[in-house]
Amino acid sequence: MKKIIFSLLAIAAASIAQQRPDIVGAIMGSQKAVIAVPDMRGAGRAEPLMGVLNGTLFRDLEDAAVFKMAPKSMYPTRVPQQPQDFRKPLQYDPNNRNAAPWLQDWSDPPVNANYLTFGYAAEQDGQMVLFGWLFNVNQPDVAAAQVFGKIYFGPMDESGARKVAHEFAADVLKQFGVESLAGTKIYFVSNRSGTKEIWGMDYDGAGQKQITNYKSISTMPSVSPDGTRIAFTSWALGQPQILVHSLETLRRIPFLNPRAGTNQNASYSADGKQIAFSSSASGFSQIYMANADGSGIRRLTNTRSVEVEPKINPKTGTEIVFVSGRGGASPQVYRMNSDGADVQRLTTGEGQATNPSWNPQGTHIAFAWTRGYDPGNFNIFVMDVNTREYVQLTSGAGRNENPTWAPDGKHIVFSSNRGGRSQIWSMLADGTQLRQLTSAGVNEKPAWSK
């Protein structure tokens, strides 16, 4: 019996692996330049902050999923701090460790890099200043190798070290047509203050701050496309209702809830002018659409089943995915036109499928499902909505739910209890580069915003 079970698991794992390239390759891309990112040195008061600076720079570039990171164990012992440190030898000898740094030290084995970041930090007028360069080390000389060199300024503390590192990384990524995630925010639900409130943090987990203070249950955040408003479900008024706050002032903005026992799961349209949500105004929770202030409400679904979690396609605005039990007792993911027509089931009907989330390109959804490898537990899947092909990203690591895409379309944030309590995690859309972002209290239901 054990052999049969192991064989079935092996077949399931092989099936997942076979699905992965078609879907994930379309999202992640395949061609990656190799970049070397050696630790930079700091002078004076900047020196104790270099661990934060170097760690932030490396993670920003690694997490961007644009590069293959050259292993630091392969780096030469002599690392340049400025372009003048490079000296072209009369005859290149890779075994001469006493020679001045040269481009081939980085482009040749064992590093085999295409690009190199380097520089140094110091104090200037009480500020941290970072001198950073990006070189294409496949070029024949220093002048041709320099892609750019720039100076960055920040406060002389850990926040300043992160700031200059984020800015340097963002400029590197711009050379490859990629926007950095630095400056984006993740909003989530946490009980660390005693009740479930909405919190926010930087994309890498830094700067965690409480957004709401209703001393009640506030949950299911959704952020407007311009990042200025956040809608969420709260029990602060007695029954679950949708509340909206300004993220600039943190004050409440009027929203007209329909008369119902439950209004929840607000989701903004691509232009921020409409909100889709679930309401029990008709008895069963159904999908509705309204203007961003709650006016102009119209009903989109009409069944005797619970229908929740609507998400509007952020690219087209013409279709909505949602969760419904209309096919039986088990919730599944469906799609429909934004007027409620042409309803189609996306998932197979097996297990429970919940928490759908569109990628920014409007071509794929991430969702939680109890089928697949590690059946019975919720895990994160990604589906191509047109082909209905899907791939499983998590397994064997607790309950994984509430996936939401990053603005770059290559990262997913989700909640997982793999460490015992539910926390917020991020990963690439191929399931790699897992990062735990929270640790205090119980944290869930993340939403990623520009």
Q: Which residues contact 190 (CB under 8 A, 6 or more apart)?
A: 196, 197, 199, 210, 438, 440, 441, 442, 443
Per the structure, how many domains does the chain have?
2
Q: Quick check: is 220 in a domain?
A: yes
DSSP string across 103-169: THHHHSTTT--SEEEEEEEEEETTEEEEEEEEEETTSSSHHHHEEEEEEEEEESSHHHHHHHHHHHH
Percentage of the chain modeled with pLDDT above 90: 84
pLDDT above 50 (res 340): yes
**How does DSSP classify residue 189?**
E
Are residue 297 and residue 149 in the same domain, yes or no?
no
What is the pLDDT of the chain when averaged over all its residues?
92
Q: What is the pTM of this model?
A: 0.87
Are residue 412 and residue 301 in the same domain, yes or no?
yes
Q: Quick check: is 14 in a domain?
A: no
Q: Quick check: is 1 in a domain?
A: no
Q: What is the mean pLDDT of residues 41-65?
A: 95
Q: Quick check: is 227 in a domain?
A: yes
Are residue 111 and residue 228 in the same domain, yes or no?
no
CA distance 215 to 230: 18
Are residue 144 and residue 287 in the same domain, yes or no?
no
Domain at 46, CATH number = 3.40.50.10070
185 pLDDT band, cuts 50/70/90, is very high
Instruction: Give me the pLDDT at residue 82, please.
Output: 96
Are residue 165 and residue 217 in the same domain, yes or no?
no
Instruction: Give me the pLDDT at residue 263, please.
Output: 98
Are residue 55 and residue 137 in the same domain, yes or no?
yes
Q: Quick check: is 18 in a domain?
A: no
Among the listed residues 245, 180, 171, the one whose alpha carbon sits nearest the alpha carbon of residue 211: 245
pLDDT above 60 (res 146): yes
pLDDT above 90 (res 24): no
Instruction: Give me the pLDDT at residue 28, please.
Output: 67
Tell me the pLDDT tens digit for each residue of 387-396: 999 999 999 9
Q: Which of 121, 147, 174 is the last residue of a domain?
A: 174
Are residue 335 and residue 273 in the same domain, yes or no?
yes
Contact 212, 195 (CB under 8 A): no
Are residue 169 and residue 198 in the same domain, yes or no?
no
Which segment, 20-24, 306-310, 326-330, is predicted with the most confidence on average? 306-310
List the domain range (segments joined by +) for residue 244. Answer: 185-449
Q: Which of 152, 174, 196 is the last residue of a domain?
A: 174
Please report, as a single letter, which amino acid is at residue 16.
I
CA distance 172 to 41: 19
Domain at 213, CATH number = 2.120.10.30
Are residue 169 and residue 271 in the same domain, yes or no?
no
Contact 315, 307 (CB under 8 A): no
Q: Which of 134, 150, 174 is the last residue of a domain?
A: 174
Instruction: Give me the pLDDT at residue 373, please.
Output: 74
Are residue 56 and residue 83 in the same domain, yes or no?
yes
Are residue 196 and residue 313 in the same domain, yes or no?
yes
Are residue 169 and residue 219 in the same domain, yes or no?
no
Instruction: Give me the pLDDT at residue 6, please.
Output: 35
364 pairs with which residues across the strands? Answer: 384
Tell me the pLDDT tens digit for each residue of 69-125: 999 999 998 999 999 999 888 777 777 766 778 999 999 999 999 999 999 999 999
